[in-house]
A and B are shown apart, each in its own frame.
Chain A
Amino acid sequence: MPADRTLDQLRAAAEVVRAAGEHDTVAGVAARYVAAPRDTGQAASLLRAAAALDLAVTFRGGGTRQDWGSPPRRLDLILDTTALTGVVEHAAGDLITVVRAGTRLDELPGTLAGAGQQLALDAPLPGGTVGGAVATNTSGPRRMLYGTVRDLLIGVTLVRADGVVAHAGGKVVKNVAGYDLGKLVTGAYGTLGLITQCAFRLHPLPAAVAYVSRAVDDPAEAGRLAGTVRAAQLVPTALEVDAPAGERATVTVLLEGTPAGVTARAAAARRLLGADATAADQPPEGWARCPWRDGDVGLKLTAALSGVPRLLSDARAAADRHDLPLSLRGSAGVGVLYAGLPGASDPERVAGLVDALRTTTAAVGGHTVALTAPAPVRDRVDLWGPVPGLELMRRVKQRFDPDARLAPGRFVGGI
């Protein structure tokens, strides 16, 4: 085999660099090289080398969401963060932790729970890393009380496309010095830079929890019940609706707090939801998971709170019209629903349904985004839909990555 000069040059930047294998693809596009930096310094050297060699780069953590977003227009190097791991600091008294971006989210409880603390961020896909959760801005039911990544991330270390290392925020929860670049890179799909380290605020683990659920026939009824719970004084941690295709819908309220407080609030929640509501100390099946499997179509639908019942019923009706088995699940208490369709669904019909969902979500102040879809559907569907502020976003991308080498084409508007 002829010597690969590019590989040699990358190897000068970090030890773990190899030619890409058959699984090293991003949304179906094959890479040429894979590198796994061990620290921020190595990541910076690699990105400097990639800049000098004009390589297009995407970032990979647990590899659980490489099929999200659009395929990259160009791809040479996958920068893998799985060697960039570990909890750097857990200051229990200050309720913060600093972790390297390749650390798996599901490893954090092992470090934090001993001190009675948690990073209050649900992981809808198991196996994901901290950096991946930030880059794709994933969250789950408990966002209702604790917020999403943007609310929990208090500091970030980045490596820019040109290899320059930058920090923003810090290690204290309250801090307004400088621009909040942490929010900028949250949900940016790695198009602005590599996240190598994150500082998060933590929350105490609750002493008691209760999941109060009730099944209803009509998804819209679940939405209305969620509204009733919201207007009461229960302060739920989560308020979820689960409406699998062809089954009854369930509304579930998660209550957390002191044992006495949770008992009293769970009783109140059962009164609000209706006579046949049940309480449990374990989450219902499918809790905090996306309502789709690998290879399926996964959508995210958002709405103003008052529009949630309408979104639920219109989505169900539109799916019936297009003869598609749509499973809906999500946070009725914040106006975010996820929807899944079998991967083998006819792309034309999926496109028709997405159009219908876009009309509905627009009417209730929200958006429809296709997070993931198999290639035939992706070719037929506009994944992101209309994006307000796109022109400014393009200007941001051009400043951070003027040569468009970081995951080009993965994000909104071809960014």
Chain B
Amino acid sequence: MSRTTTDLDALAAALRAAIGADRVITDRQQLRTYECDGLAQYKVIPALVALPADAEQCAAVVRACVAAGTPFVARGSGTGLSGGALPRADGVLVVASQMRDILEIAPDDERAVVQPGVINLAITRAAAPYGYYYAPDPSSQQICSIGGNVAENSGGAHCLKYGFTTNHVLGVELVAPDGDRVRLGGRAPDAPGYDLLGAFVGSEGTLGIATEVTVRLTRLPESVRTLLAAFETTDQAGAATSAIIAAGVVPAAVEMMDALAIEAAEAAVHCGYPPGAGAVLIVELDGPEPEVAAQFAQVESLCRENRAFEIRIAADDAERALFWKGRKSAFAAVGRISPDYIVQDGVIPRTALSEVLRRIGELSAERGIRVANVFHAGDGNLHPLVLFDAAVDGETVRAEEVSGAILDLCVTHGGSITGEHGVGMDKAKYMPRMFTDDDLDTMQLLRCAFDPDGLANPGKVFPTPRLCGEVPGRRKGVHPAQEAGLAEAF
């Protein structure tokens, strides 16, 4: 028997002792169900899976990993699209699915406190009876976990107006990579000290595991109005978007789909968008009734001025849901028109939209790879869907090239390689296109502070791990200044 196997057996025994045998998975078949997240092209079977029931059990798991020098990877619902929750063959996958309690809904504080495995939409469901909701709304909100949202700093269609996960998380309790339980932020704003909460949100599981999350609840708007505008070209739809923003309107959402994305959505969910549209825009306004009424008329006329050939206004929630259905199902829908596809996620300054779309069109034509475009037009977050057939010789490679070239376009236009899906495993190699070695090195100083031994989700986000080494004078407990009697008063 190899040494590794013995070590793993010992770790499994330690985990069973710490959290109970029924919470530790060692069976190969069962382990296999965790081999990938939403980006199924990467697959790794984890050495062990742990399903802690609470924060203390989660800390016990991490401490056991630390003692064994074994890496660990947190997983929420496994819907991530960048391979962030991809397991390690030599590591423990710590799954939050047994931590799904909503601990508190406090409308008077406009706060909810939840365990990390709680599903995003469940918070809104629990808060709605009080007239509140949880604003960040990723399209995966029916299945993704709040812990995953925190790790990815997830966005959604409505973050144009309301911001991203980071703007709505007020506190986190986490298990740091050394097994310590730490609380950052909480019920009141502006906790003293460094904003480690802000640094933790979006750190993709590399700075520890969130075991409790305090989120802001937002008052449900008095009025919501939605229109669907059809244009002949994406340029016209883009111009309409620019005109809306230039008019000083801040819509709750502005979403765009191009002809190919519309075709896919029609095939999948029969959303009945206007026939012949080269692009559709969904524009939603919400807020106090008198404001929405005034601005909605303005948005409608701006769409017409920019040559919308048909405008539909949602008469009720059912019709609004129908508008959104096409958009929200777009990723899966392209499966109807292509055997394989890559969901890309990049950001450009919104004003570069027509130029970037033209370049994507050229790339597509040059390489013989179709690209369907779906995007959060209001904030320039593109989701090009790169279509290919893996059974055709060379198509996979060409599709990956087109997909990578699109990210280059984003970077050269001053944008980002990811707007909401994260870097994870998939885009670590693209990080140097956006950041210098010094930038990446500096970010990893933070990682070294949290995780000097590199056990928390190693291999994600950064293309090259930084060796942390010992900082001179680093010791646990007493600060040198305190020791010298200098910091006592503070």
Contacts and interface: CB of A to CB of B under 8 A. Distances in A.
B476 to A, nearest CB: 8
A235 B295 CA distance: 15
B349 A171 contact: yes
Contact of A392 (B442, B450, B474): B450
Contacts of A260: 290, 293-294
B440 A178 contact: yes
A203 B163 CA distance: 13
Contact of B376 (A93, A174, A205): A174
B219 interface: yes
Contacts of A3: none
A184 B450 CA distance: 13
Interface in A125-181: 137, 147-148, 150-151, 158, 160, 164-168, 170-181
Contacts of B192: 367, 369, 384-385, 387, 412
Interface in A355-411: 361, 364-367, 369, 379, 382-385, 387-396, 398-400, 402, 404, 408-409, 411
Contacts of A170: 414-416, 434
A95 interface: yes
B188 A302 contact: yes
B380 A172 contact: yes
A174 B420 contact: yes
A53 interface: no
A268 to B, nearest CB: 8
B153 interface: yes
A179 B166 CA distance: 12
Nearest to A153: B198
Interface residues of B, number: 103
Among A165, A184, A204, chain B packs the most CB atoms within 10 A around the CB of A184
| Contact residues on A (Cβ < 8 Å of other chain), bracket | 35 or more
A86 interface: no
B103 to A, nearest CB: 14
A203 B250 CA distance: 9
A2 B479 CA distance: 38
Interface stretch (B18-26, B324-332, B481-489): B481-489
B208 to A, nearest CB: 9
B176 interface: yes
Contact of A235 (B110, B287, B350, B446): B287
Given A168-B439, A383-B490, A387-B192, A414 B198 contact: no
A400 B187 CA distance: 29
Nearest to A164: B438
A408 B414 CA distance: 36
Contact of B351 (A91, A227, A305, A399): A91
Nearest to A193: B442
Given A233-B289, A393-B196, A395-B449, 19 more contacts: A95-B245, A164-B438, A172-B416, A176-B420, A177-B434, A178-B431, A181-B199, A231-B219, A233-B288, A235-B221, A300-B190, A304-B188, A305-B111, A335-B188, A367-B192, A396-B449, A399-B449, A409-B481, A413-B490
Q: Which 3 A-B pairs have the closest CB atoms?
A: A414-B487, A183-B198, A365-B187
Interface of B: 106, 108-111, 131, 152-153, 155, 159, 163-164, 166-167, 176, 180, 182-184, 186-196, 198-199, 201-203, 219, 221-222, 242, 245-246, 248-250, 287-291, 293-295, 347-351, 376, 379-381, 414-423, 427, 431, 434-436, 438-443, 445-450, 461, 468, 471-474, 476, 479-482, 486-487, 489-490
